[in-house]
Structure 1
Amino acid sequence: MNSTFTKIIRFLLAIILILIGLNKFFQFIPAPEIPEDASEFMGSLKATGYVLPVLGVVEIFIGLLLLFNKWVAFAVIALVPISLNVLLYHLFLDIPHIGIAALVAVINFILLYKLWPKYKPLFN
């Protein structure tokens, strides 16, 4: 798990998650034009008043864990439902902007694969 490749992708994933999480609070990355269905879905999430801020906090927390190399196995497995849902959102509602979502999902699953021996006891 401590190969140079793994360190680089863990660091890259950490930076992406921290930036995306912080953007939910400070909106420093301009939002692209999205299709009407995607806009309605995002509007519904914003209307709850809590989903996007909680997601932002979780993304920042997971990013910090990865950045500081703490509880990495926990962080990687906690990110699976988030990365999968974001990927599915883009596949079904906003395919033109799938790039970062696909990158996060791929890195997440690479790290999951690299850490698989730590998860094996969960499936015995």
Structure 2
Amino acid sequence: MKNKILFVIYLLFGLMFINAGLNKFFNYIPVPEDLPESVMKMFMAMMEITWLMPLIATFEIIGGVLFIIPRFRALGAMVLVPIMTGIIIHQLTLGFGLFPIPAVMALILVWAIIENREKYLPMIK
């Protein structure tokens, strides 16, 4: 039962990143009108660097797909760590009331890393 629950959680987690990556390519989720000016400035600055958003989107999609597949979950977690770190830093510095969602997602990512810790040990030795 525990494995089925964890798989559903990991599946939803991976799908959230796949959705976020696809949205960066196809812009199907509308941007809220009431975003703070500091957040809009940050997004506009990131859009000025033309290769940055496609790069982030590609890694979100690849990481999300790898995270869903149990055999490659450890690799997917490592791909998503820098992206999740950026999300957390963004929420802490420019946050606008949505911090619980990235916090829960970060906890899921940490949980997956801890569960797959034996796969990371060769990198440390």
Query: TM-score under structure 1 normalisation?
Result: 0.87
Alignment correspondent of 1:27: 27
| RMSD between aligned residues | 1.8
Alignment correspondent of 2:4: 4
2:118, 2:68 → 1: CA distance? 21
Q: Relative to 1, partners in 2 of residues 1:100 and 1:52: Cα closer, same or farther, differing over 3 Å?
A: farther
Residue 10 of structure 1 aligns with an amino acid whose one-letter code is: Y
Query: Are the equivalent residues in 1 in contact too, given 2:67–2:75 (CA < 8 A)?
Result: no
- Displacement, 1:6? 2.4
Alignment correspondent of 1:108: 109
Q: Which moved more, 1:92-101 or 1:82-91?
A: 92-101
Alignment correspondent of 2:13: 13
Aligned length: 123
Residue 50 of structure 2 aligns with an amino acid whose one-letter code is: G
| Percent identity of paired positions between Structure 1 and Structure 2 | 27
After TM superposition, the runs of 4+ consecutive aligned structure 1 residues lying more than 6 A away are: none
Alignment correspondent of 1:49: 50
1:36, 1:42 → 2: CA distance? 10
Query: TM-score under structure 2 normalisation?
Result: 0.87
Partner SS for 1:52: helix
- Displacement, 1:14? 1.1
- Displacement, 1:39? 1.3
1:100, 1:56 → 2: CA distance? 19
- Displacement, 1:34? 2.0
Alignment correspondent of 1:78: 79
1:5, 1:117 → 2: CA distance? 21
2:27, 2:100 → 1: CA distance? 19
1:95, 1:117 → 2: CA distance? 37
1:74-106 per-residue CA deviation (whole Å, 9 max, x = no partner) reads 111121111011111011102313343223212
Partner SS for 2:70: coil
- Displacement, 1:70? 4.4
2:39, 2:116 → 1: CA distance? 34
Q: Which moved more, 1:89-98 or 1:43-52?
A: 89-98
